[in-house]
Amino acid sequence: MKKIRKAVFPVAGLGTRFLPATKALPKEMLTVVDRPVIQYVVDEAREAGIEHFIFVTGRNKTAIEDHFDVAVELYDTLSRRGKNEILERLKSMQPQPGETSYTRQQVPLGLGHAVWCARELVGNEPFALLLPDMIMQSEPGCMKQMVELYEETGGNVLAVEECDPSETHKYGIVGRGRDAHTGFEITSMVEKPKPEDAPSPFYINGRYILQPEIFSLLENQETGAGGEIQITDAMLRLHAEQPFYAHIYRGSTFDCGSPEGFIKANIALALKDETLRPNVASFMQDLLQKA
Ligand code: UTP
């Protein structure tokens, strides 16, 4: 079984749900507490043993490359001023030379198309795919748990969460087969089914381990929902040929691509931070009393 060494981060979307904030700034660079959203997602991948980070970028996304690069003047200044703690923290978050690759999607034709753009960089091996606007908080992290499941089962692995059965029409839903490690074998996948047609309440939440055969399917994948090339449509075709497993993720998920999820992420992660918690908690209590 091939190890999962590479992760793809599709960061070429337009972020229309978060305009005007995302007009000039990529949504992945919006700050949650003290770091950009993308840093949380890259850290989750690194914890899972990922060695190479592939970003599918687009126009206006150079801030992401700068964020993961060495900031020579800044590092020198911090060092001269004796700010070694923050300097070490910055360095520890930064990928090593050669660990990152960037490619451009050129036209945002959909998530499936963005993933296909990474085909040459991924090559002929299974890879992780992380939606870079979703922050997942759990111990161990979601992708690490998925890799553990993958090491038991092989095949393709999707992280799933349980939704309210009345809300299946918002998600990609999977059918539940026999139990497997921390999840189950996937029997079917349905995009946004009505509650009465949903095979289960488990929805695909934005973390994937996929076999490289997905690329040849994406190559000729027709446009689907929203006029975009959808990864789910290609996964459905791959499912006819290869097994898929679900890892049942139990942790917090924040969709930072929307203002609501982003605000919730900031509140939740500020309350988790020991230094911020006391003041933030009392400030919120005051606000709520006045509301
Ligand atoms: P989303 O649909 O959440 O992102 O796609 P979006 O299109 O940027 O956002 P809205 O809906 O307009 O607000 C999921 C992920 O896929 C990437 C996005 O950057 C996001 O992280 N994506 C989407 C691409 O890289 N390319 C695309 O063509 C579409």
pLDDT of 288 over the 80 cut: yes
Candidates 8, 9, 14, 223: which one to mutate for ligand 1, based on the most atoms within 8 Å of Cβ?
14
Structure confidence at residue 61 (pLDDT): 78
With bands split at pLDDT 50, 70 and 90, how would you rate the model's confidence at 226?
confident
Ligand 1 atom 2, closest CA: 13
Angle at 212 between CA 67 and CA 15, to 5 degrees: 40
Atom in ligand 1 nearest the alpha carbon of residue 229? 28
pLDDT of 20 over the 90 cut: yes
Task: Return the structure tokens found at 59.
Answer: 């126009």
User: If you search the block for the tokens 């592939």, which residue do you land on?
Assistant: 54
Q: How far apart are the CA of 110 and the centre of ligand 1, in A?
A: 7
Strands 183-191 and 52-57, by their bridges, are unpaired
Ligand 1 atom 4, closest CA: 13
Atom in ligand 1 nearest the alpha carbon of residue 18? 13
Atom in ligand 1 nearest the alpha carbon of residue 113? 28
Task: State the greatest distance between any 2 C-alpha atoms of the chain, in Å, as a whole number.
Answer: 64
pTM for this structure? Answer: 0.95
Rounded-to-integer distance, Cα 101 and Cα 52, Å: 8
Q: How far apart are the CA of 131 and the centre of ligand 1, in A?
A: 8
Q: How far apart are the CA of 28 and the centre of ligand 1, in A?
A: 10
Cβ-Cβ contacts under 8 Å for 282 (sequence gap 6 or more): none
With bands split at pLDDT 50, 70 and 90, how would you rate the model's confidence at 88?
very high
165 Rama sector, left if φ>0, alpha if ψ -120 to 50, beta otherwise: alpha
pLDDT in tens, 132-171: 999 999 999 999 999 999 999 999 999 999 999 999 999 9
Distances (CA, A) of 86 to 47, 67, 72: 21, 15, 14
Atom in ligand 1 nearest the alpha carbon of residue 12? 25
pLDDT of 291 over the 90 cut: no
pLDDT in tens, 167-225: 999 999 999 999 998 999 999 998 889 999 999 999 999 999 999 999 999 999 888 87
Atom in ligand 1 nearest the alpha carbon of residue 107? 28
pLDDT of 42 over the 90 cut: yes
Q: What percent of the chain has pLDDT over 90?
A: 87
Q: Name every protein residue with a CB atom under 6 angstroms from any ligand 1 atom.
A: 10-18, 56, 105, 108-111, 113-114, 131-133, 257
Q: What percent of the chain has pLDDT over 70?
A: 100
All domains of the chain in start order, with CATH? 6-257 (3.90.550.10), 258-291 (no CATH)
Structure confidence at residue 1 (pLDDT): 85
Structure confidence at residue 144 (pLDDT): 98
Q: How far apart are the CA of 179 and the centre of ligand 1, in A?
A: 32
Q: How far apart are the CA of 253 and the centre of ligand 1, in A?
A: 17
Q: How far apart are the CA of 75 and the centre of ligand 1, in A?
A: 33
